[in-house]
Amino acid sequence: MQAFLEAFRAALVSLLANRLRSVLTTLGIVIGTASVIAVVSLVQGFSESIKQQLSELGGSTLTLEAVNTNENFRSGKINTIGFDDLETLRYRVPGVGAVAPIMLVNTPGISYRDRTVSTEVRASTADYAAVYGRFPIKGRFIASADDQGRRRVAVLGSKLVDDLNLPKDPLGEYIRIGSEWFRVIGVMEKQGDLFGFSLDNYVVIPFDVGRALNGNRLRPFMQVSFTIDDVDQVDTIRDRAVRAVKASRPGTADDDTFKIQAADSVVKQFDEITRTTTAVVGGVVGISLLVGGIGIMNIMLVSVTERTREIGVLKALGATRRDILVQFLLEAALLALLGGLIGIAIGWGTGALIASLIPGFPPAAVPVWVILGAAGFSALVGVVFGIMPASKAAGLDPIEALRYE
Amino acid sequence: MIVMRAISKRYLMGDQEVRALDGVDIDIGRNEYVALIGASGSGKSTLMNLLGCLDTPTSGSYLLNGRDTATLDDTELARVRNREIGFVFQSFHLLPRMNVLDNVAQPLVYRGVSRAERLRRARESLDRVGLGNRLDHRPNQLSGGQRQRVAVARALVGEPSILLADEPTGNLDTRTSSEIMALFDALHRQGQTVIVVTHEADIAAHCKRTVRLSDGHIVEDRVNPERG
Ligand SMILES: Nc1ncnc2c1ncn2[C@@H]1O[C@H](COP(=O)(O)OP(=O)(O)O)[C@@H](O)[C@H]1O
Ligand SMILES: [Mg+2]
């Protein structure tokens, strides 16, 4: 320990003795670290702000699905989500915000006057709008009073207005779903197409109305989406939800054939983007740190040569190979760490500057783990690239070293 | 304390073999004061390096304080240098970036002594060689004589059983040389074993015993007449 402390002191002294050279040597590491910190601070700032926007939108949305394989259908053990699961999510899983079920209603088609089209009839609750972040552009969405009063009202996807030849302002018109009449109370905003399929070909009716239409089956085909209060807790809450749903079905906790999944879309995609960016940046940084490491190795080799006689003296005074090795490794690590610290400062400043120069760009954010990681990694680069020079120093023959001019 | 038998050291220069030492037998006891003399190239430094465990012989056996040095590995040899040997070199070999005090304290670093204790012992050692001030000077701010005193203090700080000096006065003027030799005389009187390599007769005259080397052989080994 004493020897280690002393080696640390000696390393510092020797770096300070060559201040300018030390700083120039670490340039590669400085640039590498600075660029990673700058990019990460921008990406992180961006990501923070998106996550915040998602939270404001009602958080990230998870969807609970019953998953069935062919085996399930063959054996008749079909996984479904029931109304009781709605209650479970609403009241027994902490961290769950709004819960919106979507139950598909079996119907031959819907009609207005003499036109009939086939469409997807979704029975859902007032929370639908909040959970999916979709809102009507005309009229209003289903309210809980519609649900409780079992009112026969419908909100149309925008494509249906054209397909059914409804008037420009369809509010108050009556459409027929199966054999029942529904009053149109709203039209949803347009979503557009995905892979050639319109996302606007649907109609939403109150949940309990749909339940009645389906004949009050206990476990109809249903999916439940819910928001979560804290985007960062997405995984915890997902696990909790799945466990709670399984808990209400005795004997399924470890049953592989019974599968309930909760999938989030936005956050996942977004994390994917962040991860890819980070990986690319990581690659670039890896290369520049490699260059920086070679710079350090080079200057350490020079330093070992310059100090050959000194190393001989230390050996004559009783320094072991290990003592010398540790001293030079520490010196390389300190040198690289110095570069890393300068790089962190420069990168931080650069990130903040860029963020402030681009209008509307969220402020840069540098998480502590990134700073610690960057500092630790640059020190590691020093150690790795210091191994060769340090073992060269440690292996010197004392007499030849002492005689070296 | 020192028992050397049939010690040889050979170097290969191209295809030519140089016998720096050739069958040296020597015994040196506690508190002896020995001069190793001989012409340049006679093998004095080579013998000194072997005695100090800086180098290993090509053949022969060397017992230091009862231990066969041939059985020691690299780390153990470093330990022996650290504890048993104090070196003084012709060109001082102080560490240029450290001040006087830290230079003297350096050998204790390899014994795991705490810094406070190291500095305390370094001060003591510097007192012994008559350097009580200028402790925070760099070696290049000192005169040759002062530098060699620092080197002696460093050699003594670990209380080694043997003080080895290779031409300690080679870079010093006559007056400073005799001051350094007076210091060695005093150390010897205090019980220190001292071995000095020199090619100057008046330096060798300080010692109690003279060993003369020639072409890697010991050609003379005699007790000096008492000076007076
Ligand atoms: N590393 C070496 N390689 C080759 N020859 C050497 C080496 N070291 C010493 N010698 C030779 O060994 C002989 C003795 O050298 P040395 O012990 O330095 O003599 P001295 O100190 O008495 O002047 C000389 O001939 C010298 O050239
Ligand atoms: Mg010599």
* CA A328 to chain centroid: 41
Q: What is the average per-residue pLDDT within A297-307?
A: 93
**Cβ contacts (< 8 Å) between B158 and chain A: which residues?**
318
CA–CA distance from A200 to each of A126, A158, A175, B223 (Å)?
19, 5, 17, 115
What contacts A77, CB < 8 A, 6 or more positions away?
A257, A258
Confidence of residue A58 (pLDDT cuts 50, 70, 90): very low
The pLDDT of residue A270: 67
Q: Which two tokens stand for residue A332?
A: 């390389």
What contacts A74, CB < 8 A, 6 or more positions away?
none
Whole domain around residue B116: which residue ranges?
A: 30-59+71-223
Q: Is the pLDDT score of A61 beyond 70? A: yes
Residue B78 domain flag: yes
Say which residue, B189 or A14, is predicted with more confidence. Answer: B189
Cα(B43) to ligand 1 centroid in Å equals 6
| CA gap A182, A392 in Å, rounded | 87
Q: Candidates B46, B51, B164: which one to mutate for ligand 1, based on the most atoms within 8 Å of Cβ?
A: B46
A1 and chain B: CB distance < 8 Å anywhere? yes
Q: Which residues of B touch A (CB under 8 A)?
A: 49, 52, 54-55, 74-75, 78-79, 81-83, 87, 89, 93-98, 106-107, 109-115, 154, 158
Cβ atoms of A228 and A96 closer than 8 Å: yes
Cα(B199) to ligand 2 centroid in Å equals 9
ipTM above 0.90, yes or no: yes
The pLDDT of residue A280: 80
Q: What is the average per-residue pLDDT within A372-397?
A: 93
**Which of A13, A14, A318 lies closest to B82 in CB terms?**
A318
Q: Please provide the average confidence, as pLDDT, over all residues in chain A.
A: 84
Q: Which among A191-205, A287-301, A331-345 has the top mean pLDDT? A: A331-345
Residue B83 domain flag: yes
Q: Please provide the average confidence, as pLDDT, over all residues in chain B.
A: 94
Q: Which of A185, A190, A128, A194 is nearest to A159 (CA)?
A: A190
The pLDDT of residue A63: 79
Residues near ion ligand 2 (Cβ under 5 Å): B 45
- Which DSSP letter does residue A243 get? H
Q: State the number of CA atoms in the 13 A half-sphere of B125 facing the CB.
A: 28
Q: State the number of CA atoms in the 13 A half-sphere of A165 facing the CB.
A: 7
In chain B, how many domains are there?
Answer: 1
Confidence of residue A367 (pLDDT cuts 50, 70, 90): confident
The pLDDT of residue A257: 52
The pLDDT of residue A22: 83
Residue B112 domain flag: yes
pLDDT in tens, A229-273: 877 777 788 888 888 888 877 766 666 555 555 555 555 666 677
Ligand 1 atom 13 nearest Cα: B20
pTM attached to this predicted model: 0.70
Residue B3 domain flag: no
The pLDDT of residue A218: 58
| CA gap B76, B59 in Å, rounded | 19
A268 and chain B: CB distance < 8 Å anywhere? no
Say which residue, A154 or A234, is predicted with more confidence. Answer: A154
Q: What is the CATH number of the domain that holds B192?
A: 3.40.50.300
Cβ atoms of A337 and A375 closer than 8 Å: yes
pLDDT in tens, B82-125: 999 999 999 999 999 899 999 999 999 999 899 999 999 999 99
pLDDT in tens, A116-141: 898 999 999 988 887 877 889 999 99
- Which DSSP letter does residue B127 get? H
Angle of helix A234-247 relative to helix A83-92, nearest 10 degrees, comes to: 130
pLDDT in tens, A162-201: 899 999 899 999 999 988 899 999 999 887 765 567 878 8
Give the least confident one: A86-100, A255-269, B97-111, B162-176: A255-269
**Cβ contacts (< 8 Å) between B82 and chain A: which residues?**
317-318
Say if residue B191 is exposed, middle or buried (CB neighbours under 10 Å; 0-12, 13-18, 19+). Answer: exposed
Q: Which of A73, A206, A51, A56 is nearest to A142 (CA)?
A: A206
| A330 CA: distance to closest CA in chain B (Å) | 16
